[in-house]
């Protein structure tokens, strides 16, 4: 896989799975920990803040509403409308990305963003800045999404308001090659996150005919002072404890 293949795959994913990819990206990028409840996505161990992550892919906005008179035209148009928009041309296209199910009471910081065809734009906003227009907000947040859903809202990113987000809440740009390398490092197996420890074990592994058995290590267990290694010449295996 490379950056181009990664981009094509992301745009082929369903909305929920796109969000999961974004969550992995932010977790790796900011070195956050796992969520402390089901109501947020990640947790900042240093600041003790609850982190929420919401992203969307950017494609051309549909020109027609689906009705019994336009249904076939809308299906035909959907092929071209699925074509992703490059950030370098965002002012030249109509698009609408919905950041929804925003529950301000359930998190402290929101990372949101857009997957364009040529890059990923990442934004960061504190919950105190997510306000309705009546509250003095500037992102078009609405505290109403579905009838009866108290405390849940949404806002939209379009060609008309993206500039505000870029000026006030922009955090970082990633190319798809950079995103690929970021996710690749996140999925690569490492021993307690320590490359030097892995290298020091190479001779022992060779002596044990390449068989390595490790006790599970919790993700939060990052620091250690020493390693005890037991090599069994009879079984040809190495056990790290």
Classified as helix, coil or strand, 129 is helix
| 129-179 tens-digit pLDDT | 999 999 999 999 998 876 666 779 999 999 999 999 999 999 999 999 999
The span from the CA of 86 to the CA of 148, in Å, is 37
pTM beyond 0.75, yes or no: no
**CA end-to-end span of the chain, whole Å?**
35
Please, are residues 109 and 171 in contact by the beta-carbon 8 Å criterion?
A: no
| 77-105 tens-digit pLDDT | 776 656 799 999 999 999 999 999 999 99
Stretch 51-67: mean pLDDT: 85
Beta bridge partners of 43: 33, 50
HSE value, Cβ hemisphere, 13 Å, CA-based, for 201: 27
Kindly tell me if the per-residue pLDDT of 227 is higher than 60: no
Residue 84 is classified by DSSP as: B
């Amino acid at each position: 896989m490379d950056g181009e293949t990664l981009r094509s795959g992301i745009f082929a994913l369903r909305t929920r799975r796109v969000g999961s990819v974004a969550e992995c990206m932010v977790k790796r990028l900011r070195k956050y920990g796992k969520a402390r409840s089901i109501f947020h996505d990640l947790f900042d161990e240093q600041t003790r803040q609850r982190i929420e992550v919401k992203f969307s892919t950017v494609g051309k906005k549909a020109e027609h509403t689906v009705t019994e008179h336009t249904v076939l035209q809308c299906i035909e148009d959907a092929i071209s409308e699925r074509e992703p928009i490059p950030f370098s041309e965002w002012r030249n296209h109509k698009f609408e990305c919905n950041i929804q199910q925003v529950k301000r009471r359930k998190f402290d910081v929101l990372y949101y963003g857009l997957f364009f065809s040529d890059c990923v734009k990442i934004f960061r906003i504190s919950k105190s800045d997510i306000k309705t227009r009546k509250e003095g907000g500037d992102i078009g947040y609405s505290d109403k999404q579905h009838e009866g859903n108290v405390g849940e809202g949404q806002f939209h990113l379009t060609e008309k308001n993206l500039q505000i987000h870029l000026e006030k809440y922009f955090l970082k740009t990633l190319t798809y090659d950079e995103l690929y390398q970021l996710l690749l490092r996140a999925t690569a197996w490492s021993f307690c996150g320590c490359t030097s420890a892995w290298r020091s074990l190479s001779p022992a592994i060779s002596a044990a005919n390449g068989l390595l058995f490790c006790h599970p290590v919790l993700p939060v267990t990052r620091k250690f002072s020493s390693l005890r290694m037991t090599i069994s010449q009879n079984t040809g295996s190495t056990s790290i404890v």
